[in-house]
Structure 1
Amino acid sequence: MTTRTGLLRAPRRGDRDEHGAVALLVAIVMTLLLAVSAFAIDLGMERAGRRDMQALADMVALDMGRMIDGRTRAQLEAGGSGEPSAASQLSASVSRNSGETLGDAPTVRAYWVKVAADGTYPSAGGVPVQVASTEAPNGVVVTAGTSIAFALGGITGTSSGSVQRSAVATAEESACFSLGSYAARLDASSSALLNPILNGILGGGANLDVLSYTGLANANVSLLDIATQLGLGSVDQLLSSNINAGTFLIAAANVLQADGTSNADILNLVAAKLGGVSIDLGDLVSAEPGAGAAETATINALDLLTGTILIANGTNALSIPGLATNLPLSGTGLTTSLSLIEKARRRCGKKGSAAETAQLALSINGNILSSQSVLGVPVTGTTKTSITAASAKGTLTDIICGSETAADPSGEDVSVTSGVVGASTELNVSLNGATNATGNVNSLLSGITSLLNLLGLNKIASITITGSVGLKVVTGDPSTIKTAQIRVPNSPVDWDHGVSTGSGDLGLNTASVTTTSNTLVVTAKNFLGLNVSLNATQSLGIITNLLSSVTSSLLDPLLTAVNNNLLHPLYDLLGLTVGGADVYGERPYCSNPLLVG
């Protein structure tokens, strides 16, 4: 009988006990994971330390960059005159910005350097090379470093690691300038012209007078103060706002009154006349966002008032009879049309910023003569005067940050591209009558000896002239490009004065009179009333003498009136000169720090 016991397999030789193998494997893996975790943690701490050092270097570089204002390295390091020394500025900035940084107390250094346009600077052995002590830097390099203690140094074998970061800052320069100023050349003639212009736009009733203009011309108002009065946080917000013109003027009036300006009530009066018209303040003063110069800029109160009124008016042509009364001429019927498009003449920003003058078109037409005569011949006349001025454009090309001394002036360079400016006056005279006074006849015959010496029936006793003649005088200024260099205190002596890029005022004169039409007919008679035959040369001689008298007795007074009462005051108000414009600067803002590396 076979049993099942014989069927059982005998144990194999290779079998052994494997209990505990998993624990060994886990121990090995855990050791590796712990090492990797230690590296990861310490690497993270080192990365966080780099981030903190970069943030610290950036903030300190900005703080140190605010010191760059044209002073030399030695002056920056020494401080004085209310300015901190470089060391104290550095210490204060590090203390203010390093409270939450990882690692040991940071080591921070600042180097005053010359930074190129691409953000690079000279270095030697990895260390920034500072400018000479007598040289003014335009940038600062800040290095910030610390030592980070590693949490698991016992495992990794490295107990700490050092980190260092750097930042480069330059002082971004900005400045404000304007082309022309209503206040700058204000006098009796220009204010007499400005008054009917502004009252014409306002519809009358503003009661502006010379004393009012003068009071405003002597006052300046801060753009930041106006922004604060309107509840805005910055000048950038102000200039980007579309705001009610009346509200804007009331805010300016409140600021002026707080500063003690007695004429500020005029702004309230004009605000009421403007009603609910909205204006874009960027059309009055334009500025690049963040331009430090704008935050400290002021604007003349009269320029602010005038600019606001003109901007509120827009591009409408106006009929302003008051302008015609500025011409002390006999006769009636003069009509005027004015188009004065105000531009943002004031600009705040960096190099490349641009501003423009106003664009102008003025015409005066109508009868100017009644019951007058030329050499005894009755005349009537009409005139047509046109004045045009395209906008001149100024571009800020350089900003000079100095100490405002003769040896180290502050200033700006503005390239002015003048607009085409022109003026013309036409005088059309109609004559119909005879002159028989001996003196008048002799004046008409002056230089024509063949007639003066004639006797008997050929002796001319009277001359009859009929027909009309047109005379025209034109002055013009083509577009030119010139640079206004403002260097305070050398030229001009202070920031209240401007620099002109032109050579003088455009004026009309009779040096180049042209005849636009001539239908005159001359008839000569002797003492018996019989016609005296005249050849073409003799008739032309009489007409030439007549035109000379028309020019001296009629055209000259007309041009004098136009020049003195319209042309020169108007160009003064706009700041226009022959071949350029008046440029006014404001102290540059030289300490607006900017990170460039």
Structure 2
Amino acid sequence: MGRERQRGAIGVMAAVTLLLALICLALVIDTGRLYFEQRKLQRVADMAALEAATQGGMCGAANADLGGLALSSAAKNGFVPGAGDSLSATLGTVEFDDRYGGADSGRTFSTGGEMADAVQVQVTHSVPSSLVLNVAAVFSNVPAQTELTATAVARRTAMAGLSAGTELADLDSSQSILLNNLLNALLGSNLSLNAAGYKGLANANLSLLALADNLRAAGVNVQAGSVESLLGTQASLAQLLGATVDAINPSQALGLDTSLLRSQLITGGSTRQA
């Protein structure tokens, strides 16, 4: 009887141990599944917030416009709101503070604001609490569905660009015949450029340093590295145009043969630029 009782006790312990192992395995599987679902939902929220912030007008944009962009992005990532699922986009601002010790280490999203520069996307998704065990049947206070929530905030900093320049003359490539006559009268030579050549000359980038070097090579007194000296230099139009042609990178002058134009300026020839 003693051995039989021992065998029975061992059998019960083995059954209990096996049951506990199965429960632990089920918990591991469900925990991994919920973690994976949360990561996937967070990715949907992140991408939706980024797309809404980059493509939306931000300041003055309606939440409906941002919501449409967020929904479009979520659909690309396989999330379509339905029963138990939702997606919302809210326009607002991000406020910075030093709650974690460093400057601007803390960030807080605030809804609304006259200078809205950020969008918050919140996504919810309902999944079964357990795929292995019927948790709701074991524990009456545990819901059969678990609601996952992911929130992402994207902020776009407004930037403005300013460019300034000067213009000595404006070339209209469509009037190439008139421009040829003007250059011939100024230079006393028979230059002939087509529309493509004038367009390439107008669109070329010119370095002031290269222009100054070429003017000195042409015998003009220009101080090296001084913009004031270059602006105050007295030079003939032929010298200026010749130095300009030499300073232009041929790869930038579309449709313009700079070597042929240079020879025309020097010799005053009558070769036509094709």
TM-score scaled to structure 2, two decimals?
0.58
| Aligned equivalent of 2:41, options 50, 53, 60 | 53
1:386 maps to what in 2? Answer: 221
Q: Distance in 2 between matches of 1:38 and 1:62?
A: 36
Which one-letter code corresponds to 2:75 in the other structure? S
**1:563 to 1:139, Cα distance in 2 relative to 1, 3 A:** farther
| Aligned equivalent of 1:94, options 53, 74, 78 | 74
* Aligned partner of residue 387 in structure 1, secondary structure: coil
- Describe how 1:472-551 pairs up with structure 2 within 5 A: 475=229, 506-508=231-233
Q: Distance in 2 between matches of 1:25 and 1:93?
A: 54
Contact kept in structure 2, 1:68 and 1:171, CA below 8 Å:
no
Per-residue CA deviation, residues 525-583 of structure 1 (Å, 9 max, x unaligned), is xxxxxxxxxxxxxxxxxxxxxxxxxxxxxxxxxx4xx1655569979xx9xxxxxxxxx
| Aligned equivalent of 1:137, options 107, 112, 116 | 116
Per-residue CA deviation, residues 149-197 of structure 1 (Å, 9 max, x unaligned), is 12224376333333222222233667888776999744969x96xxx9x
Q: Is the helix fraction higher in 1 or 2? A: 2
Structure 1 residues not aligned, in runs of 5+: 1-13, 79-84, 123-127, 197-206, 218-301, 308-339, 343-356, 367-383, 391-419, 423-474, 477-505, 509-558, 575-597
| Aligned equivalent of 1:147, options 104, 120, 126 | 126
Per-residue CA deviation, residues 574-596 of structure 1 (Å, 9 max, x unaligned), is 9xxxxxxxxxxxxxxxxxxxxxx
- Describe how 1:79-478 pairs up with structure 2 within 5 A: 85-99=65-79, 105-115=84-94, 121-122=107-108, 128-132=109-113, 135-149=114-128, 150-151=130-131, 152-154=133-135, 157=139, 158=142, 159-171=144-156, 185-186=170-171, 209=193, 211-215=195-199, 302-303=202-203, 306-307=204-205, 342=207, 359-360=210-211, 361-363=213-215, 384-387=219-222, 390=225, 420-422=226-228, 475=229
Contact kept in structure 2, 1:65 and 1:171, CA below 8 Å:
yes
**1:215 to 1:365, Cα distance in 2 relative to 1, 3 A:** closer
2:11 maps to what in 1? Answer: 23
* Aligned partner of residue 137 in structure 1, secondary structure: coil
* Aligned partner of residue 386 in structure 1, secondary structure: coil
Q: Distance in 1 between matches of 2:224 and 2:83?
A: 68
Q: Distance in 1 between matches of 2:192 and 2:138?
A: 85
Contact kept in structure 2, 1:359 and 1:389, CA below 8 Å:
no
Which one-letter code corresponds to 1:169 in the other structure? A
Give aligned pairs, total.
Answer: 218
Contact kept in structure 2, 1:113 and 1:139, CA below 8 Å:
yes
Greater Rg, structure 1 or structure 2? 1
**1:62 to 1:33, Cα distance in 2 relative to 1, 3 A:** same
Q: Distance in 2 between matches of 1:54 and 1:71?
A: 26
**1:213 to 1:21, Cα distance in 2 relative to 1, 3 A:** same
Q: Distance in 2 between matches of 1:216 and 1:121?
A: 51
Alignment RMSD = 4.6
Per-residue CA deviation, residues 397-444 of structure 1 (Å, 9 max, x unaligned), is xxxxxxxxxxxxxxxxxxxxxxx314xxxxxxxxxxxxxxxxxxxxxx
Cα shift at 1:363? 3.7
Identity of aligned residues (%): 21
Q: Distance in 2 between matches of 1:208 and 1:138?
A: 55
Q: Distance in 2 between matches of 1:113 and 1:106?
A: 23
* Aligned partner of residue 115 in structure 1, secondary structure: strand
1:445 maps to what in 2? Answer: none
Contact kept in structure 2, 1:70 and 1:137, CA below 8 Å:
yes
Q: Distance in 2 between matches of 1:161 and 1:98?
A: 19
Q: Distance in 2 between matches of 1:567 and 1:113?
A: 56
Per-residue CA deviation, residues 369-398 of structure 1 (Å, 9 max, x unaligned), is xxxxxxxxxxxxxxx4233564xxxxxxxx
**1:100 to 1:131, Cα distance in 2 relative to 1, 3 A:** closer
Contact kept in structure 1, 2:85 and 2:124, CA below 8 Å:
yes
Cα shift at 1:30? 1.7
**1:100 to 1:137, Cα distance in 2 relative to 1, 3 A:** closer
Per-residue CA deviation, residues 465-507 of structure 1 (Å, 9 max, x unaligned), is xxxxxxxxxx46xxxxxxxxxxxxxxxxxxxxxxxxxxxxx23
* Aligned partner of residue 220 in structure 2, secondary structure: strand
Cα shift at 1:47? 0.3
Contact kept in structure 1, 2:214 and 2:243, CA below 8 Å:
no
**1:364 to 1:29, Cα distance in 2 relative to 1, 3 A:** closer
Contact kept in structure 2, 1:57 and 1:165, CA below 8 Å:
yes
Cα shift at 1:60? 0.9
2:259 maps to what in 1? Answer: none
| Aligned equivalent of 1:65, options 23, 34, 53 | 53
Contact kept in structure 1, 2:125 and 2:148, CA below 8 Å:
yes
